[in-house]
Amino acid sequence: MAKINIFRYTDYRAYLRACFDECKKSDPKFSHRYLCRRLGLAAPNFIMLVMQGKRSISRSLTFRISREFRHTAREAEYFENMVGFAQAKAVDEKDRCFTRMAALRKTTNVEKIDEDQYKYYSNWYNLVVRELVTSPEFKGDYNWLARNVRPAITPSQAKRSIELLLKLGLVKKKNNGFVHSSAMISTGPDVTSLAVANFHKTMAGKAAEAVNAVRKEDRDMTACTVSISRKGFDGIKEAVAECRKRVLSVAEADEPVDRVYQVNFQVFPVSKIKT
């Protein structure tokens, strides 16, 4: 079986496709049917459907694939977590799998850009630091930066955050300070969705803390409970999207700025669907 560096992948389906293509190059007779037979699968096109995202694989099949591909113990554990990361339904389980994958990659020379992008959203204060670091008041003092995040972080966290922002190209040095760049976070959809889910969970918690920690005149929190159809829900999503654009427009035109705010938009069901 052709050897592909498994640690370069976070999507197990992409990894399987790469392995299959490499085997096909070495042996033109290699086929999905042959691989399925080797794995003890009755359906000759099952692996092809897995690669296409139309089927998932079981735990036992995960082990059989590792055996067929002659994975080392570390590679087999990585593959198992890569499958779990893709197929887990709960955010906490996805998080556990991705964290273990990151740990297993640490001793390799693989580019860890997925992990860097994951860290950007998973550590909520990175987005705050990105806004604060461009302030004229920031003179390279990590203590100042750490104190001005709410709740405060440590100077070492502030320093690592700036290093991450520079590595991802989200800020760049200019003269004696920093400016925003137009770089965008771009990685595999599973990694991004997990990181963003973690970010939303954290910021929802920060909003709850702000009820007691922030003066009423410095915050605005309102809510409404409504009965709507799916069509109505889609209409609300569009209205929220328009409102979000308006908020960004106000922020872009506003100067001079004196603080960083988090603006959350949340719409979620609080009852079961009527049948």
Q: What is the CATH number of the domain that holds 93?
A: 1.10.260
% of the chain exceeding 70 in pLDDT: 91
Residues of the chain with confidence (pLDDT) below 70: 1-2, 107-114, 182-193, 275
Give the integer Cα–Cα distance in Å for 237 and 266. 10
Contacts of 76 (CB under 8 A, 6+ apart): 63, 66
**SS3 label, residue 258:** coil
In a domain, 211, yes or no: no
In the chain, how many domains are there? 1
Give the integer Cα–Cα distance in Å for 156 and 213. 24
Say what the pLDDT of residue 186 is. 45
In a domain, 62, yes or no: yes
Say what the pLDDT of residue 105 is. 81
Tell me the residue range of the domain where 68 lies: 6-103
In a domain, 75, yes or no: yes
Say what the pLDDT of residue 200 is. 80
Yes or no: say if 99 and 91 are a contact pair by the CB < 8 Å rule.
Answer: no
In a domain, 98, yes or no: yes
Give the integer Cα–Cα distance in Å for 186 and 143. 31
Yes or no: say if 2 and 27 are a contact pair by the CB < 8 Å rule.
Answer: no
Say what the pLDDT of residue 18 is. 92
String of DSSP letters for 161-180: HHHHHHHHTSEEEETTEEEE
In a domain, 48, yes or no: yes
Q: What is the pLDDT of residues 35-45, one digit of tens each?
A: 999 999 999 99
Say what the pLDDT of residue 107 is. 63
Say what the pLDDT of residue 112 is. 53
Q: What is the pLDDT of residues 129-186, one digit of tens each?
A: 999 998 888 999 999 999 999 889 999 999 999 999 998 888 999 888 899 886 555 4
